[in-house]
Amino acid sequence: MIKIIFLILPFIIMFIPNRDYDLMSKEDTLVFKGIFSIIVILHHVSQVENNLPIIHYFANFGMYAVSVFFFISAYGMTKQVNLNREKYLKGFFKKRFFKLLLPIFIVTIIYIVLNILIFHKAYTISSIINVYKSGSSIINNGWYLNSILVIYLIFYFSFKFFKNIKISYLIFSFLIFVYIFVLKRIGFGIWWYNSMIGMIFGMYFEIFEEKIKRVLSTHFYKILLIISIWSFYIANNREYNIINMFSKMGIYSNYAIIQNILCLNFIIMILLISKKINFRELVIHKSFYYKKTKSIGKYNVNFIAESSKVYSKFVLIRNRVLSFLGKISFEMYMIHGLVMRILALYLKVDIVYLLTLFGLTIISSYLLNLLFKKLYIALNLNK
């Protein structure tokens, strides 16, 4: 059944009219963050319990979700530096780096306190340092947070000290590859770098965005759509065979290379689908509405019009929820691991566990978001 869906999916999408879109608008990226913050949580749940209905499909989705977050970050930074390089870099540490570091520091303290009180862990300065030296983090799955801080520094260095913008692009790309090499060399887990391609692709997508849009307005779009969707399905069902094929050809030298290629294909697939499907605000076309009452049997009802209005309202609410989740996605990433650990003391992993996990994660993330906003104002980090 899944195979048939993926087989016909690109052709279904092709028949959907093009939307009047800004492919990476602020609203769209918020919705993407909301969607993939949910996927990250489901991925981490699948690592604990893989027998829940559908949950096993998310077992390999962690790297895809993170690659999208990397893509969005790089796209946003590149757009800002191209709009006003001097102003953006002048306020970079204040508006970007410290606004990221402060929440990470506060949530790390929360983890330490609750780990001591609930899980009776003991900490010393030395033990905390050793956690980070081993490639781990006090925050559950906090490697991404540590990595993004390093990448921010790489970005600042690349664009601050090299005046030629094209040279800056190349330096940033080169240093990301150096960073990947160092991570592998010191023995950090593959998850540190198996989705890093999102960073490089995000930057170059912003650079060539207008040219890419023009290409996607041709029939080449259909070819790319078919290739990306079918290859995504095949790769996730035949990953082992693909690795063996590359090995026999003498090309394969690192599993992470394959995973980065898969992540690149996934990002492309999402972008191609979003050209047709507006994840932010799906609107039923006016042609679906009946202006006059139609007779159905002995009843006179404006059936399609009314049902369409209800459906439109439902979709609008759904996307407002996703936009809201996008605004607190950073907090959700940081705190959901702690919520999972605490819930594991009281609940088995089932539907009730999932609902409780999402409920507590969203509430705590929202409260943290409010706290951070107040701190940003108090510390004058917004200006």
Segments in the chain forming alpha helices (H) = 2-14, 26-48, 62-83, 85-90, 92, 98-119, 125-133, 143-160, 165-185, 197-207, 209-216, 220-237, 239-248, 255-274, 303-327, 329-343, 351-378
Q: Rounded to whole angstroms, how far apart are CA atoms 377 and 301?
A: 54
One-letter amino acid for residue 350 of the chain:
D
**Of 210, 195, 241, nearest in space to 67 by CA:** 195
Is 301 part of a structural domain of the chain? no
Within a 10 A sphere around the Cβ of 131, how many other Cβ atoms?
Answer: 14
Domain residues for the domain of 42 are 2-277
Reduced to 3 states, what is the DSSP secondary structure of residue 193?
coil
pLDDT in tens, 103-139: 999 999 999 999 999 999 999 999 999 999 999 999 9
Is 34 part of a structural domain of the chain? yes
Confidence of residue 57 (pLDDT cuts 50, 70, 90): confident
Is 293 part of a structural domain of the chain? no
Lookup result for tokens 């080449």: 220
**Of 18, 101, 28, 13, nearest in space to 71 by CA:** 28
Better-scored residue on pLDDT, 204 or 48? 204
pLDDT in tens, 148-206: 999 999 999 999 999 899 999 999 999 999 999 999 999 999 999 999 999 999 999 99
Is 158 part of a structural domain of the chain? yes
Counting every residue, how long is the chain? 383
Q: What's the N-to-C CA distance of the chain in angstroms?
A: 53
Q: Rounded to whole angstroms, how far apart are CA atoms 67 and 63?
A: 6
pLDDT exceeds cutoff 90 at 327: yes
Better-scored residue on pLDDT, 24 or 232? 232
Candidate ranges 185-189, 253-257, 293-297; pick with highest mean pLDDT: 185-189
Tell me which DSSP letter residue 69 carries: H
Is 346 part of a structural domain of the chain? no
Residue 255's pLDDT is what? Answer: 77
* pTM for the structure as a whole: 0.88
In percent, the amount of the chain with pLDDT more than 90 equals: 66
CA distances from 339 to 66, 137, 165 (A): 20, 16, 43
Confidence of residue 238 (pLDDT cuts 50, 70, 90): confident
Confidence of residue 294 (pLDDT cuts 50, 70, 90): very low
Confidence of residue 16 (pLDDT cuts 50, 70, 90): confident
pLDDT exceeds cutoff 60 at 349: yes
Q: Rounded to whole angstroms, how far apart are CA atoms 13 and 276?
A: 7
Q: Rounded to whole angstroms, how far apart are CA atoms 332 and 107?
A: 11
Is 366 part of a structural domain of the chain? no
Residue 240's pLDDT is what? Answer: 66
Within a 10 A sphere around the Cβ of 175, how many other Cβ atoms?
Answer: 17
Q: Rounded to whole angstroms, how far apart are CA atoms 231 and 317?
A: 33
- CA angle at 192 for the pair 186 and 193, rounded to the nearest 5°: 95
Within a 10 A sphere around the Cβ of 261, how many other Cβ atoms?
Answer: 15
Confidence of residue 234 (pLDDT cuts 50, 70, 90): confident
pLDDT exceeds cutoff 80 at 241: no
Is 59 part of a structural domain of the chain? yes
Residue 236's pLDDT is what? Answer: 80
pLDDT exceeds cutoff 60 at 252: no
Asked if 169 and 203 touch (Cβ cutoff 8 Å), the reply is yes
Candidate ranges 239-248, 309-318, 367-376; pick with highest mean pLDDT: 367-376
Q: Rounded to whole angstroms, how far apart are CA atoms 171 and 177?
A: 10
Find the range with the poorest average confidence among 42-56, 186-200, 348-362.
42-56
125-128's contacts with Cβ under 8 Å and 24+ in sequence apart are none
Average pLDDT over every residue of 271-290: 64
And the tokens for 220?
Answer: 């080449």
**Of 25, 52, 62, 12, nearest in space to 337 by CA:** 62
Q: Rounded to whole angstroms, how far apart are CA atoms 263 and 315?
A: 28
Better-scored residue on pLDDT, 357 or 288? 357
Is 298 part of a structural domain of the chain? no
Could you give the number of structural domains in the chain? 1
Lookup result for tokens 């946003």: 76
pLDDT in tens, 140-151: 999 999 999 999
And the tokens for 320?
Answer: 């407002």
pLDDT exceeds cutoff 90 at 222: yes
pLDDT exceeds cutoff 80 at 281: no
Average pLDDT over every residue of 255-274: 91
In percent, the amount of the chain with pLDDT more than 70 equals: 85
* Ramachandran area for residue 250 (φ above 0: left; ψ -120 to 50: alpha; else beta): left
The per-residue pLDDT of the chain, averaged, comes to 87
Residue 51's pLDDT is what? Answer: 76
Average pLDDT over every residue of 82-102: 92
Average pLDDT over every residue of 220-228: 94
Asked if 336 and 357 touch (Cβ cutoff 8 Å), the reply is yes
Beta bridge partners of 296: 299
